[in-house]
């Protein structure tokens, strides 16, 4: 079978022919239809992600496909079931073996592209805003990187939860995508003084930040007393250093979130969140935005598009029809 693999951190990933894997105890094998890409895939390709395995390994953190084999002692989902799985790796391939407990059975109305784009982006934003920050109706939510994979879902979910959403992104085209997702106010990160504009809008009660760097610093200074800040990632390449004395003066709370980590110590948080999100999807309250789709043979180009920040929402790689 085909697999888009890292064999060394000194060489770029490439499509290789490898043996089809056999599922172990507690695992299912999935015939993969589509794989959603994430910024973390770029970090894994460089060996800098917190959960990077030793090479060789196959990139691709989240997949959608059909169960085609069960490992020993694995009761289900049954062969033929349509599922989405967060595997952490192994998604850019024709087949992959994943823990059965991570499989989410898909509604009939959800297509492969939507399913592959769904779990990490929506799951991260929903757990962050609902479970962690306790976002309340009427509060002001500032979303940085608001047209990216997770940022756009934060805009959408914040809007669905009744918040007033300020979206910050680079350029008019990306801001228009955020506006269509439910943003009430738009800030161009390339030109604006983020702190001044957010303060002029009354300040932020919750900050959702997958960017870091200077944008985090500006957002930090635009927070209202009692605000909550969610560092989700550091797409800028700069991990911000937080002045603890400012936390004290304004009674701010900085809340760390690694969505995948909940699968190890509190999986019910992820399970309950995804159940809510699938209900919202079925009711038409949320809908994944996929700006680009590539075949598996062009997975390298898909990752480069993500690296160059030329996409909005999600980038999906189609593996099989």
Domain coordinates in residue numbering, the chain: 2-118+288-318, 122-260
Please state the φ and ψ torsions of residue 123, each to the nearest 5 degrees. -60, -45
Please, what is the angle between helix 149-160 and helix 119-126, to 10°? 50
Q: Which CATH number fits domain 2-118+288-318: 1.10.1500.10, 3.40.50.150, 3.40.50.2300, 3.90.180.10?
A: 3.90.180.10
Residues 140, 205: Cα–Cα separation, whole Å = 5
Top-level class of domain 122-260: alpha beta
Whole-angstrom CA distances from 125 to 120, 232, 259 are 8, 9, 9
Closest by Cα among 246, 263, 262 to 254: 246
pLDDT by position in tens, the chain (length 321): 999 999 999 999 999 999 999 999 999 999 999 999 999 999 999 998 888 889 999 999 999 999 999 999 999 899 999 999 999 999 999 999 999 999 999 999 999 999 999 999 999 999 999 999 999 999 999 999 999 999 999 999 999 999 999 999 999 999 999 999 999 999 999 999 999 999 999 999 999 999 999 999 999 999 999 999 999 999 898 999 999 999 999 999 999 999 999 999 999 999 999 999 999 999 999 999 999 999 999 999 999 999 999 999 999 999 986
| pTM as predicted | 0.93
């Amino acid at each position: 079978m085909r697999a888009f693999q890292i064999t060394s951190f000194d060489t770029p990933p490439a499509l290789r022919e490898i043996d089809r894997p056999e599922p172990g105890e507690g695992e299912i094998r999935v015939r993969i239809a589509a794989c959603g890409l994430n910024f973390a895939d770029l970090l894994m390709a460089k060996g800098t992600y917190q959960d990077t395995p030793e090479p060789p390994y196959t990139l691709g953190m989240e997949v959608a496909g059909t169960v085609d084999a069960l490992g020993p002692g694995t009761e289900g989902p049954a062969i033929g079931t349509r599922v989405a799985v967060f595997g952490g790796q192994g998604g850019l391939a024709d087949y992959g073996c994943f823990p059965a407990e991570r499989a989410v059975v898909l509604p009939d109305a959800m297509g492969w592209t939507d399913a592959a784009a769904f779990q990490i982006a929506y799951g991260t934003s929903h757990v962050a805003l609902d479970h962690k920050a306790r976002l309340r109706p009427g509060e002001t939510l500032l979303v940085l990187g608001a047209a990216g994979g997770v940022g756009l879902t934060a805009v959408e979910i914040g809007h669905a939860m009744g918040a007033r959403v300020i979206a910050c992104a680079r350029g008019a085209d990306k801001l228009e995508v955020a506006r269509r997702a439910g943003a009430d106010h738009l800030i161009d990160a390339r030109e604006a003084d983020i702190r001044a504009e957010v303060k002029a809008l009354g300040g932020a009660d919750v900050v959702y930040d997958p960017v870091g760097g200077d944008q985090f610093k500006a957002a930090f200074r635009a927070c209202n007393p009692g605000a909550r800040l969610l560092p989700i990632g550091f797409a800028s390449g700069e991990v911000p250093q937080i002045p603890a004395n400012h936390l004290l003066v304004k009674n701010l709370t900085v809340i760390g979130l690694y969505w995948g980590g909940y699968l190890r110590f509190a999986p019910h948080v992820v399970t309950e969140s995804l159940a809510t999100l699938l209900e919202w999807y079925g009711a038409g309250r949320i809908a994944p935005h996929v700006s680009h789709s590539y075949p598996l043979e062009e997975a390298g180009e898909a990752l480069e598009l993500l690296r160059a920040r030329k996409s909005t929402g999600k980038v999906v790689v189609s593996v099989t029809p």
